[in-house]
Chain A
Amino acid sequence: MKKLLVTLLSVAMVLAMTACGSGSGSGDGGSSEDPIKIGFFAPVSAPAASADGTSSLNSAKLAVELCNANGGINGRQVELVDFDDKLDTKEAANIAENLASDDSIAAVVSGSYSGPTKVAAPIFQDAGKLMVSAYAVHPDVVNAGDLIFSQSFPQKLQGAAAAYYATNELKAKKVAIISVDLDFGSAQVEGFKEELKKINSPIEIVYEQAIAISDNDMSSPVTAAAAAGADLIYSVNYYEQAAQVLREVGQKKLDIPVLGCEGADSFELLNIAGEYADGLYITTNMNRDDENEQTQEYIKNYVEKYDIQPDMVGASVYDAFQVVFSALEECGEDTAAMQKYIAGLENFNTVTGELIRYNDDGSAVKPVQIQLVTDGEYHYAGVIDDPEIIDPANY
């Protein structure tokens, strides 16, 4: 009896340890020269973030693999040094210390959320290590210093783009805002409201509710939104909650269009919401119909390797790597040179659209894509490239 218990506990412990992520190096070390090492971290094992974390890691591995298949960087193979931050800021700090003090690491990409990334950023800045944040866009990330760059637009900006689109294209008049009760949600809502004022929008906000991330029941907010007479629901949620909003509206035949954000940009949303996803608009930074060869190659390769559609999170990570690869190719492992190079990039072609430039604080200036779900797939529906709106410096 005791033996059984001990065995069970041992198995449990082993499982727990393997779940604790890997400091593994992936990628080919085939050439006789030392590989170029790029650090990476993502929330792979945290139950709440695991889907995004896995998406990030998958894209990171794909980016490195394709780079190596194409001859590496100046003949040297790239090695991915990845960590699982478990969506925990303490863990992120440890990982950052680890990578920052490792002289063999040429640069770092963050594939994690804003929480861990903004803790890691100052550590890298202080240690003189360059870091590109794929999709963590909290201002504290890039404000850590000139060695820190962000690949995607800040949330207030995205909210402003949504306000512009809702007013001018969707012609909404009464908007109900259902948002997630996190920085991700509140920043976009703030941007949305400010832009409405700026452009003198006729939109009236008839209902507003912030929902905790752990709460997936949308029956009561959607009912309240419908009762308030909304003709558009602005769903500032991640895919799980956004899918539930869509299901509520669809099942109860409420006939209210929904405008979501990049949090909904995932095959997960399409799976969960099923037929009810059709008609969803989102602001995001990935255009799946982009005729850009790189974008289509990425999607094709991702689907081939992982058998699922890539999402915005993964695409952002892939782009972050492309920027780092490009910098390494031009400058070698010279951090100061890389910093200058990246800061001076213009019209850089990425999987998530054209990166127009980086601002002085390291935040990316790029157009906001509008995608629409038709027949169960995301497709191009528009783009917001008004320089006023897409410049992060205005927020």
Chain B
Amino acid sequence: MSFTHEVYMFEQQFMNALAIGSVYALTALGATLIYGIMGILDIANAGAYLVGAYLGWYIYHATGNIALAFIGSTIAVGAIGVVLQKTIYSPILAKQNTLSIIPLVAAVGLFTMSSDVIRLICGPYSRSYNFKTSVDSIQVGPIVLIPAWILIFVLTALCLLVLWFLLNRTKLGLAWRATANDAEIAKVCGVDTNKSMALSYILGYGFAAIAGIMVGILYNSITPALGEVPSYKMLAIIVLGGLGNPVGTVIAGLLIGFVEVFVSAYTNLPIPKDAIAFVVLIIMLLIKPEGLMGQKNKM
């Protein structure tokens, strides 16, 4: 089954963009949840993405079960997130008169450590998921879909659904939203802000792990450098979306995916694709500094 004679450029690029955008959305979602509660730009989220991808690989190769890989890795990385939150981030934030740059430096340090630890333990060579599916691709009308995309769409939608449900239909979610809105007042009203922070990290790092595994399956390659580009690109995305706003982040992730694909497909601009996220961000900051869906007072 070949479609060399007819490639529907626009439709196919649209699907390319949707897939890339979904991955960005999920990757950045973790960082935005953490920002919402802790007020920290947690670059170590990219470390969770990296570690999640590797843990998932080990589980998948030990058991042959991809679902187990997702679940196991997410739980493990989420747990690591909570440990880091309790032992590093919260104590730093609890101190009076700390410069706001200190948690950021801690995050950078953790991220750097994670990629070196992975390199030392797992070696520099790439690892492949080799996730086998019964078909390589499916032709649906004018476009060709690959199974990895379907996995990405389904999983991203699922994660967003779970997040929406959690935040809007549970007490825990209510507490989270209250804490994100104003931690002081929430505490006074009897909200357990510690639980909200832990939730941020479990979800935040958990989503990053899921995104990491998805990327590992999509490109069939994970290396210790996996988190490098996401570490800074996700910052552009969460600022673009409005810091701390999950919906904004998802929209921003999708938007960046689309802009990247269409600029690269239809133009020959000398901008590297990875810089596009920042160009879009700068344009947005000039028009609407609080981001796509940020609120003015949150800045």
Are A47 and B228 interface neighbours, CB within 8 A?
yes
B130 interface residue (CB < 8 Å to A): yes
Are B221 and A243 interface neighbours, CB within 8 A?
yes
Are B264 and A51 interface neighbours, CB within 8 A?
no
Residues of B within 8 A of A210 (CB): 270
A101 interface residue (CB < 8 Å to B): no
CA distance A376 to B125 in the complex (A): 18
Pick from B13-21, B32-40, B158-166, B170-178 the stretch touching chain A. Answer: B13-21
Q: Which residue of A lies closest to B17 (CB)?
A: A220
Interface string of B35-71 (1 = CB under 8 A from A): 0000000000000000000000000000000000000
Are A223 and B16 interface neighbours, CB within 8 A?
yes
Q: Which residue of B lies closest to A273 (CB)?
A: B220
Residues from 1 to 22 in A contacting B, C-beta threshold 8 Å:
1, 4-5, 8, 12, 15-16, 18-19
Pick from A247-255, A297-305, A323-331 the stretch touching chain B. Answer: A247-255
CA distance A12 to B108 in the complex (A): 13
Pick from A103-111, A160-168, A211-219, A348-356 the stretch touching chain B. Answer: A211-219
Interface residue from B4, B19, B123 paired with A256 (Cβ < 8 Å): B4
Are A223 and B13 interface neighbours, CB within 8 A?
yes
Interface residue from A1, A19, A255, A273 paired with B87 (Cβ < 8 Å): A1
Interface residue from A15, A227, A256 paired with B120 (Cβ < 8 Å): A15
Minimum CB–CB distance for A172 against chain B, Å = 14
Are B124 and A53 interface neighbours, CB within 8 A?
yes
Interface residue from A12, A223, A308 paired with B7 (Cβ < 8 Å): A223
Interface string of A252-278 (1 = CB under 8 A from B): 111110000000000010011110000
Interface residue from B113, B221, B268 paired with A15 (Cβ < 8 Å): B113
CA distance A161 to B208 in the complex (A): 44
Are A47 and B115 interface neighbours, CB within 8 A?
yes
Interface string of B90-122 (1 = CB under 8 A from A): 010000000000000000010001011101100
CA distance A243 to B221 in the complex (A): 9
B150 interface residue (CB < 8 Å to A): no
CA distance A226 to B143 in the complex (A): 13
Are A4 and B113 interface neighbours, CB within 8 A?
no
Q: Which residue of B lies closest to A5 (CB)?
A: B87
A194 interface residue (CB < 8 Å to B): no
B213 interface residue (CB < 8 Å to A): no
A374 interface residue (CB < 8 Å to B): no
Are A215 and B272 interface neighbours, CB within 8 A?
yes
Residues of B within 8 A of A296 (CB): none
Residues of A within 8 A of B223 (CB): 47, 50-51, 240
CA distance A227 to B13 in the complex (A): 10
Q: Would A226 and B119 be within 8 Å (CB), given that A47-B225, A215-B274 are in contact?
A: no
Are A226 and B87 interface neighbours, CB within 8 A?
no
Are B124 and A4 interface neighbours, CB within 8 A?
no
B144 interface residue (CB < 8 Å to A): yes
Interface residue from A19, A224, A251 paired with B265 (Cβ < 8 Å): A224
Are B264 and A221 interface neighbours, CB within 8 A?
yes
B287 interface residue (CB < 8 Å to A): no
B261 interface residue (CB < 8 Å to A): yes
Q: Which residue of B lies closest to A213 (CB)?
A: B272
Residues of A within 8 A of B274 (CB): 212, 214-215
Known: A214-B272, A247-B220, A251-B136. 17 other contacts (CB 8 A): A4-B87, A5-B87, A5-B91, A18-B120, A47-B223, A51-B124, A214-B229, A215-B274, A220-B13, A223-B7, A226-B7, A240-B223, A253-B2, A254-B4, A255-B2, A255-B4, A274-B220
9 A-B pairs with the lowest CB-CB distances in the bound complex, closest first:
A50-B124, A212-B272, A47-B225, A227-B9, A219-B16, A227-B7, A272-B221, A255-B2, A220-B261
Name 24 A/B residue pairs within 8 A (Cβ), A-sorted: A1-B87, A5-B87, A15-B120, A19-B116, A47-B115, A47-B124, A51-B124, A51-B223, A181-B272, A214-B228, A216-B219, A216-B221, A217-B219, A220-B264, A226-B4, A244-B219, A251-B136, A252-B144, A253-B2, A253-B144, A255-B4, A271-B221, A272-B128, A274-B128
